[in-house]
């Protein structure tokens, strides 16, 4: 251990706090001292643990802010990978999703998601109350293993909730009717995601399996849910005009690769909050591991998709490279806390290979997904959730059967839930804009304003 230059820091830490009295008057110091003593006395045996709790809670809210910025990442990624004429529409949808997602999570999502005691399948909850009341502002809320206050728990989970709808947003871009999407996304976030989530994180039947279903931060529960819902949406909606022609697939290029790249890097950044925050405390051991596995899986996904696209597509494709980073991230999300660094590398790399073939596959079967959301979140979500069984380090035992049950339940539910909403929407008001509106672009057709001027 050679760290010669930090002796100063160490010295600082051991400096006597008594120096305080030299600055302030005697009276002030006494007052301050009394404050500390009261502070310590009030916490008795748990004085020490309070600090760990405060640190952990701080991490929770910072992680929430980092997950929030993922919504900007999703917005710019989706905007960048689609046509200029639909940019206002895409940004607007993303403002809506985060806004309504936070509100509905307060109104019914949180208490649907974490019902505590219920039949294990669903129990629709009511609005949150004062979550700081009744010990909710102390570590009485969740103990040392869920080291956050009630509001900390709420805001971190609320930021996750809107993600499911955001994933769908990318897949249905450039042709969905705005009004329908606003209603659809509201119901998906408020009810669909939270019910599926309650099965795992809310103490539902997936948590009650003999070997409980393992999904650390949500490869299946968040990303898989969004991907499966997106698939159902795309089936009902159909492809964008001109994508699949008699002469084969005609790529519709994204209008701004810098926007797409900004999106992916922000998602990568936010993922440290997404996975890291899912440690649910500031426990240093797991925290460092999760940051490391998350970053290495992303990196491996990026490199693998670059190499794969060079071989398969004969060119170094930027959008594949970007999706490779995301594929790696989704692939590690279920097991980030139970695999080692090299397990993470393999899981991410395989995800990076899978995503290239998945994107090509969905194009082959004419499922038009402008941003590759079904491949990235849906397909890699399955890979990540299942592969952790094989890559988990010693002492972490999971059941392949439980993982398959979890994937089957969540994906199946998300698909059906989304399909039903889309079919109802199609029957009542229509889910797709007219051919004229699609050709004109949704910015003018739906919003009456372009995203860019010249």
* Residues in contact with its own copies, shown as a per-residue x/- string from 244 to 283 under the rule CB under 8 A: ---------xxxxxxx-xx-xxx-xx--xx--x--xxxxx
| Beta-bridge partners for 392 | 339
Cβ atoms 168, 233 nearer than 8 A: yes
| Residue 340 touching its own copies (CB under 8 A) | yes
Rounded to a whole number of angstroms, the minimum distance from the CB of residue 263 to its own copies is 10
Which CB sits closer to its own copies, 345 or 414? 345
Kindly list the distances between the CA atom of residue 427 and the CA atoms of 156, 165, 169, 172, 232, in Å, as whole numbers in the listed order. Answer: 36, 21, 20, 18, 16
- Choose which of 30, 40, 311, 401 interacts with its own copies (CB under 8 A): 40
Structure tokens of 241? 């005009």
Residues 6+ apart with CB under 8 A from 92: 178, 447
| Residue 430 touching its own copies (CB under 8 A) | no
| Residue 27 touching its own copies (CB under 8 A) | no
| Residue 322 touching its own copies (CB under 8 A) | yes
Query: Hey, CA dihedral for 192, 195, 201, 207, is it positive or negative?
Result: negative
Rounded to a whole number of angstroms, the minimum distance from the CB of residue 375 to its own copies is 18
| Residue 224 touching its own copies (CB under 8 A) | no
Strand, coil or helix: 39:
helix
Which CB sits closer to its own copies, 192 or 348? 348
Rounded to a whole number of angstroms, the minimum distance from the CB of residue 266 to its own copies is 7
Q: Which of residues 81-120 bind its own copies (CB under 8 A)?
A: 83-84, 87-88, 91-92, 94-96, 98-103, 106, 116
Measured in whole angstroms, how far is the alpha carbon of residue 387 from the centre of its chain?
19
Which of these ranges, 188-196, 337-345, 354-362, 369-377, lies near its own copies under the rule CB under 8 A? 337-345
Q: What are phi and psi of 87, to 5 degrees?
A: -70, -45
| Residue 3 touching its own copies (CB under 8 A) | yes
- Choose which of 172, 175, 221, 317 interacts with its own copies (CB under 8 A): 317
Q: Is 79 exposed, middle or buried (0-12, 13-18, 19+ CB in 10 A)?
A: buried
DSSP conformation class of 442: H
| Residue 187 touching its own copies (CB under 8 A) | no
Rounded to a whole number of angstroms, the minimum distance from the CB of residue 367 to its own copies is 22
Q: Which residue has the tokens 């160490």?
A: 10
Which of these ranges, 241-249, 379-387, 425-433, 442-450, lies near its own copies under the rule CB under 8 A? 442-450
| Residue 342 touching its own copies (CB under 8 A) | yes
Structure tokens of 358? 């998945």
Residues 6+ apart with CB under 8 A from 173: 78, 82, 86, 90, 370, 371
């Amino acid at each position: 251990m050679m760290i010669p230059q930090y002796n100063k820091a160490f010295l600082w830490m051991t400096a006597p706090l008594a120096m305080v009295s030299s600055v302030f008057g005697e009276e002030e110091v006494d007052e301050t001292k009394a404050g500390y003593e009261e502070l310590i006395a009030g916490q008795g045996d748990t004085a020490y643990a309070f600090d760990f709790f405060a640190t952990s809670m701080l991490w929770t809210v910072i992680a929430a802010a980092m997950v929030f910025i993922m919504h900007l990442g999703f917005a710019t990624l989706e905007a960048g990978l689609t046509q200029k004429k639909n940019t206002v529409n895409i940004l607007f949808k993303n403002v809506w999703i985060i806004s309504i997602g936070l509100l509905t999570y307060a109104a019914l999502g949180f208490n649907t998601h974490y019902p505590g005691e219920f039949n294990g399948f669903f129990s629709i909850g009511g609005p949150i109350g004062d979550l700081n009341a009744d010990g909710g502002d102390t570590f009485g809320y969740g103990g040392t293993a869920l080291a956050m206050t009630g509001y900390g728990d709420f805001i971190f989970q609320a930021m996750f909730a809107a993600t499911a709808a955001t994933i769908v947003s990318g897949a249905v871009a450039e042709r969905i009717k705005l009004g329908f999407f606003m209603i659809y996304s509201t119901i998906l976030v408020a009810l669909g995601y939270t019910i599926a989530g309650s099965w795992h994180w809310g103490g539902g039947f997936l948590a009650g399996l003999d070997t409980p279903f393992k999904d650390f931060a949500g490869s299946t529960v968040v990303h898989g849910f969004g991907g499966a819902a997106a698939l159902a949406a795309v089936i009902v909606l159909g492809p964008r005009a001109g994508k699949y022609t008699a002469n084969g697939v005609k790529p519709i290029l994204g209008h701004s690769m810098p926007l797409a790249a900004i999106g992916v890097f922000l998602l990568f950044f936010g993922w440290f909050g997404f996975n890291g925050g899912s440690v649910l405390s500031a426990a240093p051991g797991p925290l460092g591991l999760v940051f490391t596995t998350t970053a290495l899986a992303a990196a491996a996904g990026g490199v693998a998709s670059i190499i794969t696209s060079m071989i398969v597509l004969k060119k170094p494709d930027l959008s594949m490279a970007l999706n490779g980073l995301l594929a790696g991230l989704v692939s590690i999300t279920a097991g980030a806390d139970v695999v080692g660094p090299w397990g993470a590398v393999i899981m991410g790399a395989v995800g990076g290979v899978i995503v290239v073939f998945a994107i090509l596959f969905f194009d082959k079967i004419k499922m038009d997904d402008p941003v590759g959301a079904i491949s990235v979140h849906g397909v890699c979500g399955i890979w990540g959730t299942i592969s952790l069984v094989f890559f988990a380090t010693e002492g972490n035992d999971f059941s392949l059967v439980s993982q398959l049950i979890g994937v089957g339940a969540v994906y199946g539910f998300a698909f059906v839930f989304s399909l039903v909403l889309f079919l109802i929407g199609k029957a009542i008001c229509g889910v797709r804009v007219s051919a004229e509106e699609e050709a004109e672009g949704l910015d003018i057709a739906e919003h009456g304003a372009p995203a860019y001027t010249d």
